[in-house]
């Protein structure tokens, strides 16, 4: 019987920490000794290789240069491994999972992100279950090879599409939610796979990584009372090439003339403005209300039901493709990796 070979990539984060019982201080442990720390991994029907960042980082320090590093590791091991589990701090995990979903072009193997709220050596840790099940999920196969063929995020008994997730809680074990798309898998006594919701990629194209990202972007969240002067600081920055504008409800904004004129001026400069809702769930529907009709007229691009994390990383990705404004809008407003409905 075929035995999957899984690569475990440790970037940093709480999951890879152990606590000194005398001082209480946290430190990273050597992932080469993983089987010693978690002997239950020997029960899994797969082989496990490990790769660790030379200097593991807190996920608050995560940046596109590290996204490229993760993608490079996956590319190096892509043909020798059947699946990948990326251990990552939870704070920016949704950003990284979203970015990697776009960067890993023509992916046909599982890339599962996971982490924990408590260190792996803690008495009540959630790290062991998250890690063990993530590896098991990454090793799932049928007659057609791996069952999961996309970037996922596993946390607290559920596997989500990575680019559909948002961190919603800093204290509970159930730290993530995917409010606009169902979970791909639920872990109970058995693993319940929701196969209808999985990406089924074409095998016609060869896997490759896209290792360029444009970081001349920003996220601007609207709030009642935001002033023209403050908004100009964000939107008229000399190097800005794209902005994700977090609007109200279904994509609504103030209709004050100065606001519409400023957005129009920014768009005429060739800067893309993406309209994403501030709400955790739901979708932008420009033109549904009078307060968003003008936005449609002046050329804002709809993010549909994308998360802010997916919206900004998709923007970074597409800005490097040298697309015409018309093609950019078309590409942005269509689902590339299942990130929007």
Q: Do both 152 and 21 map to the same domain?
A: yes
Q: For the residues 146-163, what does the mean pLDDT come to?
A: 96
Q: Mean pLDDT over all residues of the chain?
A: 91
Domain boundary among 188, 209, 230: 209
Q: Which domain holds residue 165?
A: 4-209
Domain boundary among 140, 175, 209: 209
Residues 13-62: pLDDT tens digits?
Answer: 878 777 667 777 766 666 666 667 788 888 898 999 999 998 888 889 99
Q: Do both 105 and 129 map to the same domain?
A: yes
In a domain, 101, yes or no: yes
Residues 230-242: pLDDT tens digits?
Answer: 999 999 988 999 9
Q: Do both 150 and 260 map to the same domain?
A: no
Identify the pLDDT of residue 121: 66
Domain boundary among 209, 240, 256: 209
In a domain, 340, yes or no: no
Are 153 and 162 in contact, with CB atoms under 8 Å apart?
yes
Identify the pLDDT of residue 84: 98
Q: Do both 161 and 276 map to the same domain?
A: no
In a domain, 196, yes or no: yes
Find the angle CA(186)-CA(188)-CA(193) to the nearest 5 degrees: 35
Identify the pLDDT of residue 13: 82
What is the share, in percent, of the chain residues with pLDDT greater than 70?
A: 95
Distance CA 239, CA 236 (A): 9
Residue 131 — φ and ψ, nearest 5°? -70, -50
User: Tokens 């519409």 correspond to what residue?
Assistant: 260
In a domain, 197, yes or no: yes
What's the total number of domains in the chain? 2
In a domain, 337, yes or no: no
In a domain, 109, yes or no: yes
Closest CA to 214 of 76, 38, 111, 67: 67
Q: Do both 197 and 257 map to the same domain?
A: no
Residue 14 bears catalytic tag: yes
Are 227 and 261 in contact, with CB atoms under 8 Å apart?
no
Q: The tokens of 261 are what?
A: 């004129």
282: domain CATH number? 3.40.50.40
When mean pLDDT is compared across 121-130, 179-188, 205-214, 297-306, the lowest value belongs to 121-130
Q: Do both 169 and 236 map to the same domain?
A: no
Identify the pLDDT of residue 38: 80
Q: For the residues 183-209, what does the mean pLDDT come to?
A: 93
Are 183 and 159 in contact, with CB atoms under 8 Å apart?
yes
- 3-class DSSP assignment, residue 209: strand
Cross-strand partners of 246? 221, 276
Q: For the residues 251-256, what does the mean pLDDT come to?
A: 92
Catalytic residue of the set 14, 92, 114, 125 = 14
In a domain, 338, yes or no: no
Distance CA 253, CA 73 (A): 42
Q: Do both 222 and 186 map to the same domain?
A: no
Sort residue 152 into left (φ over 0), alpha (ψ -120 to 50) or beta. Answer: beta
pLDDT at 179 over 80: yes
Q: Do both 203 and 229 map to the same domain?
A: no
Integer angstrom CA distances of residue 18 from 135, 202, 252: 20, 42, 46
197: domain CATH number? 3.40.50.1170
Handedness of CA 288, 294, 298, 302 (dihedral sign): negative
pLDDT at 168 over 70: yes
Q: Do both 53 and 174 map to the same domain?
A: yes
Closest CA to 130 of 97, 158, 167: 158
Q: Do both 29 and 141 map to the same domain?
A: yes
Name the pTM for this structure. 0.94
In a domain, 126, yes or no: yes
Q: Do both 85 and 229 map to the same domain?
A: no
Residues 75-124: pLDDT tens digits?
Answer: 999 999 999 999 999 999 999 999 999 999 999 999 999 998 787 767 77
Closest CA to 322 of 214, 247, 194, 234: 214
Q: Do both 292 and 234 map to the same domain?
A: yes
- 3-class DSSP assignment, residue 260: helix
Identify the pLDDT of residue 15: 80
Identify the pLDDT of residue 287: 74
pLDDT at 257 over 70: yes
């Amino acid at each position: 019987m075929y035995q999957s070979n899984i690569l475990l990539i440790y970037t940093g984060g709480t999951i890879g920490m152990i606590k000194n019982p005398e001082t209480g201080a946290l430190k990273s442990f050597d992932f080469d000794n993983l089987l010693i720390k978690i002997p239950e991994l020997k029960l899994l029907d797969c082989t496990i290789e490990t790769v660790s960042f030379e200097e593991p980082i807190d996920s608050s320090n995560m940046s596109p240069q590290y996204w490229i590093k993760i993608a490079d590791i996956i590319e190096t091991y892509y043909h020798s491994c059947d699946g990948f589990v990326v251990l990552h701090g939870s704070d920016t995990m949704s950003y990284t999972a979203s970015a990697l979903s776009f960067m890993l072009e023509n992916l046909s193997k599982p890339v599962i992100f996971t982490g924990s709220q408590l260190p792996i050596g803690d008495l009540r840790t959630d790290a062991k279950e998250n890690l063990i099940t993530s590896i098991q999920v990454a090793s799932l196969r049928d007659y057609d090879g791996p069952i999961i063929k996309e970037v996922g995020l596993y946390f607290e008994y559920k596997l989500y599409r990575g680019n559909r997730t948002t961190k919603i809680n800093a204290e509970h074990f159930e730290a993530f939610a995917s409010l606009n798309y169902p979970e791909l898998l639920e872990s109970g006594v058995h693993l319940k796979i929701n196969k209808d919701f999985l990406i089924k990629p074409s095998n016609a194209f060869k896997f490759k990584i896209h290792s360029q990202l444009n970081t001349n972007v920003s996220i601007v969240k609207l709030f009642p009372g935001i002033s023209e002067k403050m908004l100009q600081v964000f939107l008229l920055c000399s190097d800005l090439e794209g902005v994700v504008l977090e609007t109200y409800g279904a994509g609504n904004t103030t209709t004050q003339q100065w606001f519409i004129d400023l957005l129009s001026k920014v768009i005429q400069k060739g800067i893309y403005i993406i309209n994403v809702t501030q709400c955790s769930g739901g979708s932008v529907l420009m033109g549904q209300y009078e307060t968003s009709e003008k936005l449609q007229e002046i050329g804002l691009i709809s993010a549909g039901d994308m998360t802010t994390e997916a919206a900004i990383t998709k923007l970074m990705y597409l800005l490097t493709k040298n697309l015409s404004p018309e093609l950019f809008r078309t590409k942005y407003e269509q689902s590339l990796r299942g990130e929007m409905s």
